[in-house]
Amino acid sequence: MNKVHLEYCSSDEWAAAVRQWIIPGALADVELGDDVLEVGSGPGRTTDILREMTAKLTAVEIDVDLADALSARMAGTNVTVVQADATALPLPGKRFSAAVSFIMLHHVPTIAEQDRLLAEVARVLQTGGVFAGADSLDSTEFRAMHVGDICVPIDPATFHQRLERAGFTDVHVETNPYVMQFRAVAP
Protein backbone atom coordinates (compact mmCIF):
# COMPACT_ATOMS: atom_id res chain seq x y z
CA MET A 1 0.00 0.00 0.00
CA ASN A 2 1.15 3.54 -0.56
CA LYS A 3 1.73 5.66 2.53
CA VAL A 4 -1.57 7.58 2.36
CA HIS A 5 -3.57 4.39 1.85
CA LEU A 6 -1.80 2.61 4.71
CA GLU A 7 -2.37 5.58 7.03
CA TYR A 8 -6.08 5.56 6.19
CA CYS A 9 -6.38 1.79 6.69
CA SER A 10 -4.72 2.22 10.09
CA SER A 11 -6.93 5.11 11.16
CA ASP A 12 -9.70 5.35 13.73
CA GLU A 13 -11.96 6.64 10.94
CA TRP A 14 -11.44 3.40 8.98
CA ALA A 15 -11.90 1.30 12.13
CA ALA A 16 -15.25 3.02 12.76
CA ALA A 17 -16.39 2.35 9.17
CA VAL A 18 -15.33 -1.28 9.44
CA ARG A 19 -17.18 -1.72 12.74
CA GLN A 20 -20.33 0.15 11.70
CA TRP A 21 -20.84 -0.82 8.06
CA ILE A 22 -18.36 -3.15 6.39
CA ILE A 23 -18.22 -6.14 8.72
CA PRO A 24 -21.93 -6.05 9.71
CA GLY A 25 -22.97 -5.72 6.06
CA ALA A 26 -20.85 -8.60 4.85
CA LEU A 27 -21.47 -10.90 7.81
CA ALA A 28 -25.19 -10.41 8.38
CA ASP A 29 -26.64 -13.86 9.12
CA VAL A 30 -23.23 -15.57 8.70
CA GLU A 31 -22.22 -18.13 11.32
CA LEU A 32 -18.44 -17.96 11.57
CA GLY A 33 -17.90 -20.88 13.91
CA ASP A 34 -14.93 -21.18 16.22
CA ASP A 35 -11.87 -21.24 13.90
CA VAL A 36 -11.83 -18.39 11.37
CA LEU A 37 -9.32 -17.37 8.71
CA GLU A 38 -8.89 -13.69 7.87
CA VAL A 39 -7.22 -13.21 4.50
CA GLY A 40 -5.25 -9.99 4.17
CA SER A 41 -5.42 -8.44 7.61
CA GLY A 42 -3.24 -5.43 6.77
CA PRO A 43 -2.76 -3.23 9.85
CA GLY A 44 -5.42 -5.23 11.68
CA ARG A 45 -8.36 -2.89 12.12
CA THR A 46 -10.69 -5.66 10.91
CA THR A 47 -8.80 -8.18 13.06
CA ASP A 48 -9.63 -6.13 16.16
CA ILE A 49 -13.33 -6.69 15.51
CA LEU A 50 -13.21 -10.23 14.14
CA ARG A 51 -11.35 -11.59 17.17
CA GLU A 52 -14.41 -10.71 19.26
CA MET A 53 -16.60 -12.84 16.98
CA THR A 54 -14.84 -16.22 17.20
CA ALA A 55 -12.86 -18.38 19.59
CA LYS A 56 -9.82 -18.61 17.30
CA LEU A 57 -8.73 -16.29 14.48
CA THR A 58 -5.85 -16.81 12.08
CA ALA A 59 -4.88 -13.61 10.24
CA VAL A 60 -2.83 -14.07 7.07
CA GLU A 61 -0.86 -11.06 5.84
CA ILE A 62 1.71 -11.02 3.01
CA ASP A 63 3.52 -7.84 4.09
CA VAL A 64 6.28 -8.78 6.55
CA ASP A 65 6.23 -5.48 8.47
CA LEU A 66 2.43 -5.44 8.81
CA ALA A 67 2.37 -9.10 9.85
CA ASP A 68 5.12 -8.56 12.43
CA ALA A 69 3.42 -5.48 13.89
CA LEU A 70 0.04 -7.21 14.08
CA SER A 71 1.58 -10.32 15.61
CA ALA A 72 3.20 -8.23 18.35
CA ARG A 73 -0.06 -6.34 18.96
CA MET A 74 -2.11 -9.55 19.12
CA ALA A 75 0.29 -11.45 21.41
CA GLY A 76 -1.63 -13.18 24.18
CA THR A 77 -4.99 -13.01 22.38
CA ASN A 78 -6.99 -15.55 20.39
CA VAL A 79 -5.29 -14.35 17.17
CA THR A 80 -2.45 -16.10 15.37
CA VAL A 81 -0.81 -14.04 12.64
CA VAL A 82 0.76 -15.90 9.72
CA GLN A 83 3.01 -14.00 7.31
CA ALA A 84 2.24 -15.68 3.99
CA ASP A 85 1.01 -15.27 0.45
CA ALA A 86 -2.66 -16.26 0.41
CA THR A 87 -2.28 -17.75 -3.08
CA ALA A 88 -0.26 -20.56 -1.45
CA LEU A 89 -1.43 -20.83 2.15
CA PRO A 90 0.87 -22.80 4.46
CA LEU A 91 -2.18 -24.15 6.27
CA PRO A 92 -3.84 -27.57 6.33
CA GLY A 93 -6.88 -28.32 4.19
CA LYS A 94 -10.38 -28.40 5.63
CA ARG A 95 -9.29 -26.65 8.84
CA PHE A 96 -11.36 -23.45 9.12
CA SER A 97 -15.03 -23.06 9.97
CA ALA A 98 -15.19 -19.79 7.98
CA ALA A 99 -12.97 -17.37 6.08
CA VAL A 100 -13.31 -13.64 5.58
CA SER A 101 -11.70 -10.97 3.44
CA PHE A 102 -12.35 -7.26 3.77
CA ILE A 103 -11.38 -4.66 1.17
CA MET A 104 -8.14 -6.37 0.14
CA LEU A 105 -8.74 -8.63 -2.86
CA HIS A 106 -7.97 -5.73 -5.23
CA HIS A 107 -4.40 -5.70 -3.82
CA VAL A 108 -3.70 -9.14 -5.32
CA PRO A 109 -1.65 -8.32 -8.44
CA THR A 110 -3.48 -10.29 -11.16
CA ILE A 111 -6.84 -11.90 -11.77
CA ALA A 112 -5.08 -15.28 -12.06
CA GLU A 113 -3.51 -14.78 -8.61
CA GLN A 114 -6.84 -13.64 -7.21
CA ASP A 115 -8.36 -16.86 -8.53
CA ARG A 116 -5.56 -18.92 -6.90
CA LEU A 117 -6.35 -17.14 -3.62
CA LEU A 118 -10.04 -18.05 -3.96
CA ALA A 119 -9.11 -21.69 -4.62
CA GLU A 120 -6.79 -21.72 -1.59
CA VAL A 121 -9.56 -20.38 0.64
CA ALA A 122 -11.86 -23.13 -0.66
CA ARG A 123 -9.13 -25.70 0.11
CA VAL A 124 -8.64 -24.66 3.75
CA LEU A 125 -12.36 -24.36 4.59
CA GLN A 126 -14.29 -27.20 6.13
CA THR A 127 -17.12 -28.57 4.00
CA GLY A 128 -19.99 -26.13 4.42
CA GLY A 129 -17.72 -23.36 5.70
CA VAL A 130 -18.59 -19.86 4.54
CA PHE A 131 -16.25 -17.47 2.76
CA ALA A 132 -17.62 -13.94 3.15
CA GLY A 133 -16.38 -10.43 2.71
CA ALA A 134 -16.41 -7.21 0.81
CA ASP A 135 -14.28 -5.29 -1.62
CA SER A 136 -14.40 -1.73 -2.90
CA LEU A 137 -16.10 -0.84 -6.13
CA ASP A 138 -13.96 0.69 -8.85
CA SER A 139 -14.25 4.49 -9.05
CA THR A 140 -12.13 7.58 -9.67
CA GLU A 141 -11.75 8.14 -5.93
CA PHE A 142 -10.83 4.49 -5.38
CA ARG A 143 -8.13 4.67 -8.08
CA ALA A 144 -6.78 7.95 -6.66
CA MET A 145 -6.18 6.29 -3.29
CA HIS A 146 -4.19 3.55 -5.02
CA VAL A 147 -1.65 5.63 -6.95
CA GLY A 148 1.58 3.67 -6.70
CA ASP A 149 -0.28 0.67 -5.24
CA ILE A 150 -1.29 -2.64 -6.70
CA CYS A 151 -4.90 -2.15 -7.72
CA VAL A 152 -6.78 -4.83 -9.66
CA PRO A 153 -10.47 -4.14 -8.92
CA ILE A 154 -12.89 -7.02 -8.61
CA ASP A 155 -15.65 -6.95 -11.22
CA PRO A 156 -18.90 -7.76 -9.40
CA ALA A 157 -20.44 -8.95 -12.67
CA THR A 158 -17.95 -11.84 -12.98
CA PHE A 159 -17.08 -12.53 -9.34
CA HIS A 160 -19.93 -15.02 -8.91
CA GLN A 161 -18.52 -17.22 -11.67
CA ARG A 162 -14.97 -16.86 -10.34
CA LEU A 163 -16.05 -18.11 -6.90
CA GLU A 164 -17.84 -21.06 -8.51
CA ARG A 165 -14.74 -21.92 -10.59
CA ALA A 166 -12.76 -21.93 -7.33
CA GLY A 167 -15.14 -24.64 -6.10
CA PHE A 168 -17.63 -22.65 -4.03
CA THR A 169 -21.38 -23.24 -4.08
CA ASP A 170 -24.35 -21.19 -2.91
CA VAL A 171 -22.61 -18.03 -4.12
CA HIS A 172 -24.13 -14.60 -3.50
CA VAL A 173 -22.62 -11.35 -4.78
CA GLU A 174 -24.33 -8.01 -4.31
CA THR A 175 -23.33 -4.38 -4.51
CA ASN A 176 -24.37 -1.21 -2.77
CA PRO A 177 -23.13 2.29 -3.64
CA TYR A 178 -19.85 1.64 -1.81
CA VAL A 179 -18.81 -2.01 -1.90
CA MET A 180 -19.36 -5.44 -3.35
CA GLN A 181 -20.32 -7.97 -0.68
CA PHE A 182 -20.02 -11.69 -1.22
CA ARG A 183 -20.54 -15.01 0.47
CA ALA A 184 -20.06 -18.53 -0.73
CA VAL A 185 -19.97 -22.04 0.74
CA ALA A 186 -17.04 -24.45 0.55
CA PRO A 187 -17.67 -27.80 -1.15
Contact 164, 187 (CB under 8 A): no
Which residues is 135 bridged to in the sheet? Answer: 180
Residue among 138, 44, 129 nearest 95 (CA): 129
Q: What are the residue boundaries of the structural domains of the chain, listed by start?
A: 3-169
**What pTM value is reported for the model?**
0.96
Class level of CATH domain 3-169: alpha beta
CB-based burial of residue 69 (10 Å sphere; 0-12 exposed, 13-18 middle, 19+ buried)? Answer: middle
Which residues is 175 bridged to in the sheet? Answer: 180
Tens place of pLDDT per residue across the chain (187 aa):
778 778 888 889 989 999 999 999 999 999 999 999 999 999 999 999 999 999 999 999 999 999 999 999 999 999 999 999 999 999 999 999 999 999 999 999 999 999 999 999 999 999 999 999 999 999 999 888 888 899 999 999 999 999 999 999 999 999 999 999 999 999 8
